[in-house]
A and B are shown apart, each in its own frame.
Chain A
């Protein structure tokens, strides 16, 4: 069972508290605050403080000592082992390690035959390709060590290029089944598709700004009216659920939705809005409306 106290925030907090009580007593209020902040929720502190103060659970005394003799640990549950076994079968695991771990006698929670995606793009990254794997691992290593890299790659037109960059993080798109490296190049940011990388090597260039301050892509906003026919409300809002949005109800059938998106993805957002047909009408920005009008005009002029 997934919804179990065994995996709960309070059990994790208690394990942290008891670890200090066993290994380096006494537990201070600062320890408690830190552990709760790291492992639990915004209202947990006062709830847990009250419970611990009353010695509600015969585990920890009010003086911070405990009857436990060992720092608390919990073996993996069967569910955890089954999930780990399942990801051992995923081809993307090779990006991280040569040999998957073995869990003898454990059935995987799922295999590729049990779960499938019906709308993923068919030109995903080559996870079995040795060069791709080597590049991926070098980038991941540089992310750990915060080291600059020189990356030789092909651009969209197939021309060879290289750049000295400071890796910031790897971005994975489930729709495209592709990894992209988000990195700093001088004061600007850069995105490199991993599948286009030819070679990765250490760079001796000093690159600013420091990792963790990647400039976010410029944001765009689009506002559209939604007409709730054919279950459009549910379909549209779920479809765009991964983006930041605000929805306002106008009446029983009409809603106004404002979506925020990365401006570099505007064409993708546009065709996704078009896919809902007359259930959506873009209100702003004007250039977005114009693009849709233009596509409709071109379509109307085609002799079908």
Chain B
């Protein structure tokens, strides 16, 4: 089959784009899950969409391809381009433009038979153009009613079609901003494509653009939440290279603006627990039956979130939360340390003990989640205590390892 820059299934490129952008150290031969030809085609497509950001370097293992993007310097997420690469059939594109031309104004209301007749008048101008049968046209019209582009009207026993009204929407500034910060921002990018081009007045710092790659599963989950439906999720288990299926009640999407990760918080129907699932590991989302316990489960999650540092709901000690307390010190001119604790405390609490000491404490389901944040205060920690001794021991042993890592050169020199 001849190469095309358009694709049918987004999941084919989703994994490659993440690999090229997030990892960016693999050679062609390292991509073993698909054939080398598949790799070549996907790499070529991604280069066609994102060529400005594609970089290469040569190693003993071969040529390394990676995407290098400083998201602070781009005004629009480059990954949105990939969402505009859906392939289509000749019939689909022809019908799209002819149907919307027949139903161009609000006064254009036609039956299926009238539409079919008019389509023939359009195509008759072209030698050898394929005629469309009534069932194909009916299917396309019904698809467009579901998409919201067209409306179906019933007059007696007859069915008519007309285009939906299109309300005015927000300015380009609103779309420039929210297409980058709102969930499923790619939809805002679709709207921007219809506006006259000009440079955005907004840039973004700490901007994790890979979340764009998960837009389809995000939209599927949000739709199910809105409709209070259970979903069946297919998850790619990276370590085992296997796929598993789970029936869950979706409750909320949580995202980290300091980690670049997005999670589905959902009640797992078989295990009876509320768990977190990485969105970038979800291959698909399928809507199932109504979620009868949705409201009660969401209330439960609300309560739980006052004891969750990140997304982990896993409690090692049944029915008992883990406690974490630490105290930091600072000089008279370093009051910003206390302010930083206040700003970043999340579900914890901060107490100023004296002009030079502040204490943080929290009760958490999983206290291991807070360790990276505590490490960012290294040099200032004067007391620290975890109710979970195993976690505390790991904190100390990691610190010892850091002393060793950074001072071994000095010891050798000494």
Contacts and interface: CB of A to CB of B under 8 A. Distances in A.
Interface of A: 1-12, 14-15, 18, 38-39, 41-44, 47, 55-59, 61, 67-70, 72-81, 83-84, 86-87, 90, 92-93, 96-97, 101, 103, 107-110, 113-123, 140, 143-144, 169-176, 180, 182, 212, 216, 233-235, 237-239, 241-249, 255, 260, 262, 271-272, 274-278, 281, 289, 292-296, 298-300, 302, 304
Contacts, number: 381
Interface in B301-359: 305, 308-311, 339, 342-346
Interface residues of B, number: 143
A96 B171 contact: yes
B206 A176 contact: yes
A304 B382 contact: yes
B226 A8 contact: no
B84 A72 contact: no
A58 B125 contact: yes
Contact of B6 (A8, A78, A300): A8
A193 to B, nearest CB: 12
B204 A173 contact: yes
A274 B378 contact: yes
Interface in B49-94: 49, 51, 55, 57, 59, 61, 66, 68-73, 81, 83-88, 90, 92-94
Binding site of A, secondary structure by majority: helix, strand, loop or mixed?
mixed
A115 B97 contact: no
B226 A57 contact: no
B216 A115 contact: no
Contact of A68 (B101, B166, B190): B101
A169 B187 CA distance: 23
Nearest to A124: B343
- In the complex, the 7 A-B pairs of residues with the closest C-beta atoms, listed nearest first: A78-B148, A295-B379, A58-B126, A278-B401, A58-B129, A5-B88, A275-B372
Interface of B: 4-6, 10, 21-26, 44, 47-49, 51, 55, 57, 59, 61, 66, 68-73, 81, 83-88, 90, 92-94, 96-98, 100-101, 104-105, 121-123, 125-127, 129, 146-150, 163-171, 173-174, 177-178, 180-184, 186-188, 190-191, 193, 197, 199-210, 215-216, 219, 222-223, 225-226, 252-261, 298, 305, 308-311, 339, 342-346, 371-373, 375-376, 378-384, 398-399, 401-403, 405-407, 410
